[in-house]
Structure 1
Amino acid sequence: MRLDEQVLVFDADDTLWENNIRFERAIEAFLDEVAPPAPSRAAARATLDGIEAANAARHGYGSQVFLRSLGECHEQLHGRAATAAERDRLAALAASITSAEVELIPGVAQTLAALARRHELLLLTKGDLAEQQAKIDASGLADHFKAVHIVPEKDVAAYRRLIDTHTLPPERTWMIGNSPKSDVLPARAAGLNAVYIPHQHTWALEAAELDPADGGVLRLATFAELGEHF
């Protein structure tokens, strides 16, 4: 049975289009080159994950923050500053995540078009303003949304601002995304419902435990299944 007249708020990266796989490919190439000085490849990745978490909290997201993290990890593992050639290589790896091409997740285009005819759609994504806007523009999906919001962080305060800005009815509003940490838990804390659609390449730092007994969270296997519920 479909719900009528809902407000559907969509995450973007790894919900509407592929994103983190680009970071993973860049990280794998990075580890190929810097892992030998570390005790193991896993140890090198753990070092990078810790640096990324700290930099995300201090500086946000995007290719320039990713470049900073790669540089700091490289210096920490090698115990020295990167050479000019190494800095160029790190910059190339960071640049590889900002391809102008956007690969939509299967079922997104058709499902969004159908949902837009029945519901009010909003887009809420976090990250670097210019980089996120470029992906939105390239996706061809922008016209489906009543409004697009690009924020530095998707925390409880961001969801409360969204509610206030659009005078959203929390009982009829759903946050839809792949991240327990950014899409589900803070939305629920702000009083919204949530739809969790896991993605195999979700960033490890977006992981968090969800309450299996929380009736305000709908769990789906694919994006296309949204059409069966909304």
Structure 2
Amino acid sequence: MNSMNQHIIFDMDDTLIHCNKYFDLILAAYFEQITDWFRDYGVTTEEVRSKQIEIDVEGINKLGFASSNFPESLIATYRFFSKRHRRTPVTSEEQELYQLGLSVYDQEVEAYPGMVETLNALQESGHHLYLYTGGETKIQQRKIQQMKLFQYFDDRIYIRQHKNIHALEEILQMRSFERTRTWMVGNSLRTDVMPALTAGINTIYLKQETEWQYNMVELKKQPHNILYTVEALTEVPEIITSHLTQTSL
């Protein structure tokens, strides 16, 4: 096998396709509704935002990327402010919020700029592509099918509800990856970059203008770690080619 051919593992949500922007749209509607219901109590959008993030992150830490976590965080936040201000929760309002939360999974999937060009370039260069995404199988497979990602990843697709160092290690050991020839490309410091650095594989961090708070963690980079930061997906092939050129000298 050509030593120049690399094993490149891609995250999907907010790396290859848009995700967070749909949650932001739903949250905007949610904040507007909650502040309207609690307008007589002076509840602000920032208060609601802060509490919802706190509850959402706590749920993910316990349950992973379960689809029920987001809508349940909306209801739990609603109940928090109801209890604080002694406003009796209304069943119909909770049902409305749950359906609002679930609607985020019905949004049309949209590719990130340069997704097709990037995957084509890497595939044509002989690299081996893998997809590693967090979430529930049914929801993630729908996105994969809509974006026709099977043509790039075939059976090399891994969907995990918990996306952490243990899940990544399981995948790396399952296929006996040679770590110096393996890359992780993703937008999350928590679920992509930190596990990849811990596992000792090359890492490309796709930095976003705005990022979900859950994804933000402080990195503890070791001297042997290889970490590149890019702002566009289309930079990835050049980064890998440049790295291989430098290491072959």
Normalising by structure 1, we get a TM-score of: 0.91
**Candidates 12, 35, 54, aligned match of 2:58:** 54
Q: Which residues of 2 match residues 199-210 of structure 1 at below 5 A? A: 199-210=208-219
* Matched position secondary structure for 1:174: strand
Mapped contact 1:109–1:141 kept (Cα < 8 A): no
Aligned-partner residue type, residue 174 of structure 1: W
Aligned match of 1:97: 104
Q: CA RMSD in A?
A: 2.0
* Matched position secondary structure for 2:131: strand
**Candidates 132, 138, 141, aligned match of 2:140:** 132
* Matched position secondary structure for 1:63: coil
Aligned match of 2:123: 116
**Candidates 216, 222, 230, aligned match of 2:232:** 222
Moved more, 62-71 or 115-124: 62-71
Aligned-partner residue type, residue 194 of structure 2: L
Spell out, residue by residue over 1:14-34, the C-alpha distance to the aligned partner (whole angstroms, 9 max, x if none).
000000111111111111122
1:22 aligns with 2:22: yes
Shift of residue 65 of structure 1? 1.3
Question: For 1:179 and 1:54, how far apart are their aligned partners in 2?
Answer: 17
Aligned-partner residue type, residue 49 of structure 2: R
Aligned match of 2:203: 194
**Candidates 65, 70, 74, aligned match of 1:66:** 70
Aligned match of 1:168: 177
Q: 5+ unaligned residues in a row in structure 2: which ranges?
A: 241-249
Spell out, residue by residue over 1:144-187, the C-alpha distance to the aligned partner (whole angstroms, 9 max, x if none).
01500001222111111111111101111010000011100111
Spell out, residue by residue over 1:113-150, the C-alpha distance to the aligned partner (whole angstroms, 9 max, x if none).
12112200000011112111111111112220150000
Quickly say closer, same or farther: Cα 1:95–1:39, change in 2 above 3 A: closer
Quickly say closer, same or farther: Cα 1:4–1:158, change in 2 above 3 A: same
Question: For 2:9 and 2:88, how far apart are their aligned partners in 1?
Answer: 44
- Greater Cα radius of gyration, structure 1 or 2: 2
Shift of residue 104 of structure 1? 0.1
Question: For 2:114 and 2:66, how far apart are their aligned partners in 1?
Answer: 26
Aligned residues: 228
Aligned-partner residue type, residue 145 of structure 2: D
Aligned match of 2:162: 153
Question: For 1:102 and 1:86, how far apart are their aligned partners in 2?
Answer: 28
| Identity over aligned pairs, percent | 29
Higher relative contact order (CA 8 A, sep 6+): 1
Shift of residue 205 of structure 1? 0.8
Normalising by structure 2, we get a TM-score of: 0.85
Quickly say closer, same or farther: Cα 1:61–1:96, change in 2 above 3 A: same
Mapped contact 1:20–1:201 kept (Cα < 8 A): no
Shift of residue 38 of structure 1? 6.2
Which 4+ runs in 1 deviate beyond 6 A? none
Quickly say closer, same or farther: Cα 1:84–1:112, change in 2 above 3 A: same
Question: For 1:125 and 1:191, how far apart are their aligned partners in 2?
Answer: 19
Aligned match of 2:244: none
Shift of residue 100 of structure 1? 5.2
